[in-house]
Structure 1
Amino acid sequence: MITFQWPFVGLAAAILSLAVIVAARLMDRRSDRRHPPEHDPQVFDLSEAWESERGSAILTRWRRLNRLAVTMLAIVVALSVVLLARPSQVSTGIHHSSNRDIILCLDVSGSTLPYDRQVIDTYLEVARNASGERIGLSIFNSTSRTVFPLTDDYDLVEKELSEASSTLKDVQSQSDIDHMSDEDYQKISDWLDGTQNRKDSTSLIGDGLVGCASMLPGVVYGSASSQSTGSGSSETTGRQASILLATDNVTAGDPTYTLDEALAITSKASITVDGLFSGPSDTLDGEDASTMRTLITGHGGTFLSTTAQSSVQDLVRDLESRRSRNDRELTRASVIDAPAWWVLAVAVMMALWLATAGRLRR
């Protein structure tokens, strides 16, 4: 149903247009009275020419075209008045929204770098199946770097992840690194910049996880020594939060937080941490992988391996099931301008009036 947002403006414009037409008509009549037609028998009288058969036909056609042009112009004015009143309609629709944040947390130490492209491809699969969530990416070694903050701009997410995958495509072994071009090596170095700022330390997994958690709004945490735990995120923002941690759980150095302490912080803050084991498939049953599995599942997360395609599908399925539980379906109504047909009508009538006016001039 069409309504008008500015009906009084349209009414005012209609009254003004009518006043202009009446004023023009009155002025035309006064002009006729002041200058009555003169009939001089010695001057050629045009009225006699119009009385001829051809002249009469031309005059009749001119009068019809004139009336048609006036009618069209009146319609253009009327339609313009309608447009000034802003024709509108109510638009209703069902909007799906998700109140969940996902942080992609990637270990980029030397032991995991050859497997990080697989992880990033998994992240891409997660991003392509996202619907309404905000996604962020952080990479870490001895220190963390935010690649992109939480965003629901999926074009940006896919662009960043695709570029990262392309950058790491030739990093499969130390031999690949030794034989790559200076340009490719520089690209990798630039991408990893900011993740190795502590000497004699690599893959500080607990610190990396805490750094990823700090990207979530409302997370507060203390020192590991005091065993203080974090709070915030879903408790303060009302949004579900999860972290997708990809690592081989091989730590070298003295971290501020162990993985167990970091998971205690995220658990206290109601953040779900899922683990992606990014290492050789033959180490999946080793001590590091087993410890990671125990800690992740012990805090309510899911443990998967990027080496198995079924695991990636299980991860996507698990994330989708969580989303379906947290999705909100909202019916929203909004008033929107609906000038399309009116503008088209004005354009058509204006074109016809111009064509008619051009014919009159000839």
Structure 2
Amino acid sequence: MSIGNLSWRWPWLPVLALVLAMAFGLLAYRKARRGKPDQEPEARVWTLSSDLDTEEGHEALRRWRRLNRCAAILLSLALLMVLSLAARPARVDRTLEQGHNRDIVLCLDVSGSTLPYDRQVIASYLDLVRNFRGERMALSIFNSTSRTVFPLTDDYDMITAELSKARRILDGVQSQDRIDAMSGRQYQDISDWLEGTQNRRDTTSLIGDGLVGCAALLPQFAPKDHSGPAKADQRSSSLILATDNVVSGKPTYTLEEALKLTSAAGITVDGLYSGPDQGTGDESTRQMQRLIEASGGIFLRRQDGNSINALVRRIEHRHGADPRQQEQSSLVDAPGWWTLALALALSGYLLLAWRLKR
């Protein structure tokens, strides 16, 4: 049942209440009539007519009747408001919501050559979280094998908590002096956090394999010949790879092969160098930059002052400046004015009832 923009979710409830009230009233009336004697012999009657037959008495009686009628009206209004609230008045709430149809995977190299610098990369990830709203994010860490820290989610409180925890844990491995000063509990925390990333012997820092493991968190990614271009209705995806590209061992996928797989799946990969300052000019770093940029991504160094801001601007530009807008309609309870009217009517009735008792 609706009137204009206002509707009642349970319109049958006040009707049922009125029917029950009338039924109980009729039953009480018949019971009272049945129990009343037809005649009361020699009944003695007293009257106040003579006491009220004065000017002051007539005025007091008229005032009492006026207050009594007002109290009855206010009580009726209060009961009407109660029935209206019981029917759950509601309105249609139409809002224009903005949503980002995007998935972002943060892919972190935790091998020995990058571990002392990973805390700074984690801080960069926290900057990304502060800049994005509405996207789904995931974090995967890798060395010889990969581990998912958290899957794709838009729970930013959880994301911030996990990244803050990782930054705290990695605080003790930024230098040899801090490593030497670590307690047993700190060693255990780091070991627990890195568990699952070193499951292959005599092999570390498999960049291509780590990238494929991170890409596997995205719904449209499939290895080898099963991958294909992204469909128009799929969420756009980007992957941020933080590594120094120093490989130790024989990987299943090279970085170039992994980038071909992600490109075929429509996933954009951006690179963030996370290694010592003296390694920025190494061939491995230049190779990583060439491959990332050739696949359509951007390459940034951790030491650049505006790296994260530049990365955010490029990703925003790549996926469009304006987020998707969608009108959402929902039926929400609207008891506001009805509750206020009930409070006023009930307060007025109680005030008049107190006045009538005097």
TM class, shorter-length:
0.7 to 0.9
Contact 1:75 1:349 in 2 (8 A): yes
The aligned residue for residue 253 of structure 2 is 257
Distance (whole Å) between structure 2 residues aligned to residue 210 and residue 326 of structure 1? 30
Contact 1:13 1:81 in 2 (8 A): no
Distance (whole Å) between structure 2 residues aligned to residue 359 and residue 233 of structure 1? 80
Contact 2:145 2:198 in 1 (8 A): yes
**Pair 1:269 & 2:236 matched:** no
Q: How big is the shift at 1:28?
A: 11
Distance (whole Å) between structure 1 residues aligned to residue 41 and residue 24 of structure 2? 28
The aligned residue for residue 191 of structure 1 is 193
**Any gaps of 5 or more consecutive residues in structure 2?**
none
Q: Which has the higher mean CA deviation after the structures are superposed, 263-272 or 348-357?
A: 348-357
Contact 2:108 2:142 in 1 (8 A): yes
Q: What pairs up with 1:58-73 in 2 under 5 angstroms? A: 59-73=61-75
The aligned residue for residue 329 of structure 2 is 333
Contact 1:229 1:264 in 2 (8 A): no
Distance (whole Å) between structure 2 residues aligned to residue 233 and residue 85 of structure 1? 52
Contact 1:120 1:165 in 2 (8 A): yes
- Quick one: which of 10, 15, 34 aligns to 1:12? 15
Q: What pairs up with 1:183-332 in 2 under 5 angstroms? A: 183-221=185-223, 228-229=224-225, 231=227, 234-235=230-231, 238-324=234-320, 327-332=323-328
What SS class does the counterpart of residue 309 from structure 1 fall into?
coil
- Quick one: which of 110, 113, 129 aligns to 1:111? 113
TM-score, normalized by length of structure 2? 0.87
Cα distance change, pair 186–237 in 1 and its aligned pair in 2 (3 A): farther
Contact 2:91 2:332 in 1 (8 A): yes
- Quick one: which of 176, 179, 186 aligns to 1:177? 179
Q: Which has the higher mean CA deviation after the structures are superposed, 10-19 or 173-182?
A: 10-19
| 1:86-129 per-position Cα deviation (integer Å, ceiling 9, x unaligned) | 33323222211111100000001111011111111111111111
Distance (whole Å) between structure 1 residues aligned to residue 262 and residue 155 of structure 2? 25
The amino acid across from 2:294 in the alignment is G
Distance (whole Å) between structure 1 residues aligned to residue 142 and residue 60 of structure 2? 89
The aligned residue for residue 136 of structure 2 is 134
Contact 1:125 1:316 in 2 (8 A): no
Contact 2:8 2:87 in 1 (8 A): yes
**Pair 1:146 & 2:148 matched:** yes
Distance (whole Å) between structure 2 residues aligned to residue 155 and residue 142 of structure 1? 30
Distance (whole Å) between structure 1 residues aligned to residue 132 and residue 117 of structure 2? 23
Q: How big is the shift at 1:18?
A: 8.0
Distance (whole Å) between structure 2 residues aligned to residue 319 and residue 243 of structure 1? 10
TM-score, normalized by length of structure 1? 0.86
What SS class does the counterpart of residue 139 from structure 1 fall into?
strand
Q: How big is the shift at 1:230?
A: 5.0
Cα distance change, pair 287–230 in 1 and its aligned pair in 2 (3 A): farther
The amino acid across from 2:288 in the alignment is M
Q: How big is the shift at 1:233?
A: 8.1
The aligned residue for residue 167 of structure 1 is 169
Cα distance change, pair 257–55 in 1 and its aligned pair in 2 (3 A): same
| 1:56-80 per-position Cα deviation (integer Å, ceiling 9, x unaligned) | 5654444333222211111012222
Contact 1:73 1:350 in 2 (8 A): yes
Q: How big is the shift at 1:229?
A: 4.5
Provide the aligned length of Structure 1 versus Structure 2: 355
| 1:240-264 per-position Cα deviation (integer Å, ceiling 9, x unaligned) | 1111000000111121111111111
Q: How big is the shift at 1:217?
A: 1.1
Q: How big is the shift at 1:357?
A: 3.3
Q: How big is the shift at 1:39?
A: 8.5
Q: What is the root-mean-square deviation of aligned Cα atoms in Å?
A: 3.1
Distance (whole Å) between structure 2 residues aligned to residue 326 and residue 256 of structure 1? 39
Q: How big is the shift at 1:303?
A: 0.5
The amino acid across from 2:103 in the alignment is D
Distance (whole Å) between structure 1 residues aligned to residue 229 and residue 150 of structure 2? 18
Contact 1:233 1:239 in 2 (8 A): no
What SS class does the counterpart of residue 81 from structure 1 fall into?
helix
**Pair 1:3 & 2:3 matched:** no
Cα distance change, pair 55–232 in 1 and its aligned pair in 2 (3 A): farther
Distance (whole Å) between structure 1 residues aligned to residue 267 and residue 88 of structure 2? 49
Q: How big is the shift at 1:360?
A: 4.0
The aligned residue for residue 224 of structure 1 is none
Contact 2:9 2:90 in 1 (8 A): no
The amino acid across from 2:263 in the alignment is S
Contact 2:229 2:264 in 1 (8 A): no
Distance (whole Å) between structure 1 residues aligned to residue 315 and residue 350 of structure 2? 62
The amino acid across from 2:241 in the alignment is L
- Quick one: which of 338, 343, 354 aligns to 1:342? 338
| 1:139-178 per-position Cα deviation (integer Å, ceiling 9, x unaligned) | 1111111111100111111111111112212321233212
- Quick one: which of 96, 99, 103 aligns to 1:97? 99
Distance (whole Å) between structure 2 residues aligned to residue 39 and residue 51 of structure 1? 26
Q: How big is the shift at 1:266?
A: 0.6
Distance (whole Å) between structure 2 residues aligned to residue 309 and residue 121 of structure 1? 13
